[in-house]
Structure 1
Amino acid sequence: MHATAEETVQARLLLSAHRSARLRVTLTYLTDDPLAVRMAFPAEFSLDEAEHGAEDGAEAEAEAGDIVWVFARRLLAAGLELPAGVGDVHVRPAPGRRTTVELRAPEGTALVQFDTADLRRFLWRSHLLVPEGEEHLYLDADRALAELLG
């Protein structure tokens, strides 16, 4: 049985030191992909109409008109306390009980700021589905191999 934790939250896309835009971000956790979280951003905030590739285990994909970034759940959790990330996704605490997620693509870099409480609530819900450290119990090696081999 596959289960999902999904939450839509408000965030701010930081455009400059003095300008930002509000946007909705859908956070998703799937038990059939237990190591990852997904952040879906409205397509109108994309730097490019095409799909983005990402390095270091992170990936961005177009899905239902949104741009979806996929990266490690552990990275999101670590970044709530201390700066974390190597490659395309970085997460770090920000002043005022906020958390900044930095997304890097060939087209540019986006800085998105969230209320830390929203991210903690989402992670808590994901841990109810698959406790931290038990992700291996939910991995489907046969499916992963089939996807790899096409």
Structure 2
Amino acid sequence: MKIRSYKGDSLHPLIKEKIVEFSESKLPTTIDTIAESYLGAYLYNDNEEIVGGITGHSFWNMLHIDYFWIDENYRGKGTGSELLAAMEEKARSEKCTCITLETFSFEAPVFYEKNNYERFGVIENTPLEGIDYYFYRKYL
């Protein structure tokens, strides 16, 4: 056997397919197969400019938030919480019972905690000394 390295996403679909196959073989038949959905919402201002957005993907009973951004001019006005609540409602409609996400210490940990997300992990000093990488979840 030999190991070959690669860069890029050429093997990503194959490896994903194989791990999904394996995982499904270990789960009870009462759990549906993985039905991954991509979800998102955008916030527009009066000029129809995008000033915020949130994206994520759901699988099994979980939603993982991939990206969440609010223009700095619109922060601190409740718009982020409204957009997050809209995503949570969409997750519920997809029968998700848990949302997960990650954020850096310089991004939005306080925001997520104010919105009832629970920190369940941290990688300290990543990517640099003095910056931490947090993991959050919220049960719906």
Normalised by the size of structure 2, how large is the TM-score? 0.27
Between Structure 1 and Structure 2, which shows a larger proportion of strand residues? 1
Q: Which has the higher contact order (CA 8 A, sep 6+)?
A: 1
Normalised by the size of structure 1, how large is the TM-score? 0.26
Structure number with bigger Rg: 2
